[in-house]
Structure 1
Amino acid sequence: MQTPSYIALSRQTALWRQMDVVANNIANMNTPGFKSQDLMFSEYLAPSKGADSAFPDMLSYTYDFGTKRDVGLGPLSQTGNPLDVAINGPGYFEVETDFGRFYTRNGRFMLDADGMMVTGSGHPVLSTDGTPFFIAPNESRITVAKDGTVSTENGNIGRMNIVSFEDEQALLRVQAGLYDAGEQEPEEATGMALEQGMLEGSNVEATAQITKLIQVQRAYEQVQKMIEDESERQGRAIKVLSGAQDV
């Protein structure tokens, strides 16, 4: 495989990864709190092989070096469920898992068999004291205030720990809408308000993502055709040179 094919293959590989990212966005259009992602590209320049000049010709390859998350607020929708809570503004809910504390924007909560407030995956939602919330069997009226204070008809039981991070792009998205903060230390979120009985939807713009998927697919097909044409050109050149040597 010669240089033009290597350059085309670098572009095709990046397009394949971009297609995966766009397809994942589309698959999560209805996932509460999901943040759309986009692949980031750059140009990688390398000198052509065999160039003896002090200023050799530079070959331009496509290099995808990561993804960027759109942290913009998704649409808030009314559900009427008192255990659905949306963060209107910046911040993340803190939850406890078997692997430590993770963070999420998905506020679709429920009560487990012990009356503990948990996520859909069963992870306890944590208070500012680092403890989960328990609702007694005889408590039926659950209220979540704008500042995250959770109370029932028997009084306050704690305040949800809503945190923010200096670099949201560094958060690693894991399963079930959870984020791993890695080495970052969470800080108390400001400039937000909790909305009880509401959920934050995905911020994926369906039309834009479907259009992008079509564009990526077409670009991939064009690069594939270029690779095939280059392969045919090389084949014809080999035949011509072989014929010349036989003569």
Structure 2
Amino acid sequence: MIRGLYTSASGMLAELSRNDVTSNNLANVNTTGYKKDTAVNSAFAQMLIQRVDDRKQTDISQRPVIGTLGTGAIVDEIVTIHEQGQLRESSNPFDMAIAGNGYFVVQNDNGTYYTRNGSFTVDGEGYLVTSQGDMVVGQAGPINLGDANDVVVDGSGNISANGENIGTLRLVTVANQQELTKVGDSLFTGGQVVDGIDGQVKQKFIESSNVNVITEMVNMITTMRAYEANQKIISGHDNTLSQAMQVGRLR
């Protein structure tokens, strides 16, 4: 019975973690380039159940097996889903999206990062930057547009203004996307990257998050139902233990 308490408690903790992941996904449904997460559960080792009296038999093969008993669950890892979000057209010539597999490269004082968030702008010094002020990296370093007008970006990331080439975006592909680590603001780090993308750059487009609101709401409801079920099981075990203690006192 005590084992049942621990099993249900582990289930409640796992559902709390799943709920946190779902809540974070919903909070970022409008975040450009955001990639949703999902919690992956794993089970503790199962126990083989046999009747108490059957354990007295010396021949193990003659002991009838009732079945197995789960001993709990835990969130094994949080996995990021890197599938592409919907591309939405905009009127900003500095908005860019990647149709296909690949990442923009940006840098700040803390290092170099990868992102699918192409909602760029130009700072006071003429550099192409993200909405957080991180420098957008080109093949020759940070891209300076100066006071250029009529900026055009082609599918390969080549940037031109007034018919003259300004630079080329550095675009990379990650060999194993699950090796990427989120650092916030739709930025990733880690993984083995190679230059080039399996797709094309689309100017005046931005990539929406890949969060499906309906799916996440269903996940949240399912999580809460599972949490409540474990809660009721613990309450039932508690009542049974309380009654057992009362019987012990009467004796």
Q: TM-score, normalised by structure 1?
A: 0.90
Indicate yes or no: 2:131 matched with 1:124: no
1:175-194 maps to which residues of 2 (within 5 A)?
175-181=184-190, 184-194=191-201
Q: Which residue pairs with 1:111 in the alignment? A: 122
Using the alignment, how far apart are the partners of 1:144 and 1:2 within structure 2? 65
Using the alignment, how far apart are the partners of 2:237 and 2:215 within structure 1? 33
Which AA in structure 2 matches 1:210?
M
Structure 1 residue 59, shift from structure 2 partner: 4.3
Indicate yes or no: 2:159 matched with 1:150: yes
Q: Which residue pairs with 1:32 in the alignment? A: 32
Give a deviation string over 1:160-190, Cα, whole Å, max 9, x none: 1111111111211111111111xx3311233
Indicate yes or no: 2:176 matched with 1:167: yes
The answer (yes or no) to whether the contact 2:138–2:167 under 8 Å persists in 1 is yes
The answer (yes or no) to whether the contact 1:126–1:132 under 8 Å persists in 2 is yes
Using the alignment, how far apart are the partners of 1:188 and 1:208 within structure 2? 34
With 37-46 and 115-124 compared, the bigger mean Cα shift is at 37-46
Which AA in structure 2 matches 1:101?
T
The answer (yes or no) to whether the contact 2:121–2:128 under 8 Å persists in 1 is yes
Structure 1 residue 96, shift from structure 2 partner: 0.6
2:225 to 214, 218, 226: 218
Q: Which residue pairs with 2:23 in the alignment? A: 23
Structure 1 residue 202, shift from structure 2 partner: 0.8
Structure 2 SS opposite 1:89: strand
* Residue 218 to residue 59, structure 1, CA distance change in 2 (3 Å): closer
Structure 1 residue 46, shift from structure 2 partner: 5.6
Structure 1 residue 199, shift from structure 2 partner: 0.3
The answer (yes or no) to whether the contact 1:128–1:161 under 8 Å persists in 2 is yes
Using the alignment, how far apart are the partners of 1:124 and 1:192 within structure 2? 22
Using the alignment, how far apart are the partners of 2:189 and 2:104 within structure 1? 12
Identity fraction in percent: 29
Which AA in structure 2 matches 1:82?
P
Using the alignment, how far apart are the partners of 1:16 and 1:26 within structure 2? 15
Give a deviation string over 1:92-125, Cα, whole Å, max 9, x none: 1111121110111000001111010000110000
Using the alignment, how far apart are the partners of 2:109 and 2:22 within structure 1? 30
2:239 to 225, 232, 236: 232
Structure 1 SS opposite 2:185: helix
Structure 1 residue 47, shift from structure 2 partner: 5.2
Structure 1 residue 69, shift from structure 2 partner: 1.7
Q: Which residue pairs with 2:80 in the alignment? A: 69
Using the alignment, how far apart are the partners of 1:20 and 1:221 within structure 2? 16
Using the alignment, how far apart are the partners of 1:205 and 1:26 within structure 2? 8
Q: Which residue pairs with 2:42 in the alignment? A: 42
Consecutive unaligned residues of structure 1, counting only runs of 5 or more, are none
Q: Which residue pairs with 1:14 in the alignment? A: 14
Structure 1 residue 36, shift from structure 2 partner: 1.3
Structure 1 runs (4+) deviating above 2 angstroms are: 51-60
Q: Which residue pairs with 2:143 in the alignment? A: 133
Structure 1 residue 58, shift from structure 2 partner: 5.7
The answer (yes or no) to whether the contact 2:13–2:74 under 8 Å persists in 1 is no
The answer (yes or no) to whether the contact 1:90–1:189 under 8 Å persists in 2 is no
* Structure with the higher strand share, 1 or 2: 2
Consecutive unaligned residues of structure 2, counting only runs of 5 or more, are none
Give a deviation string over 1:1-39, Cα, whole Å, max 9, x none: 921010001111110000001111111111111111110
Structure 1 residue 60, shift from structure 2 partner: 2.7
Which AA in structure 2 matches 1:105?
R
Structure 1 residue 44, shift from structure 2 partner: 1.4
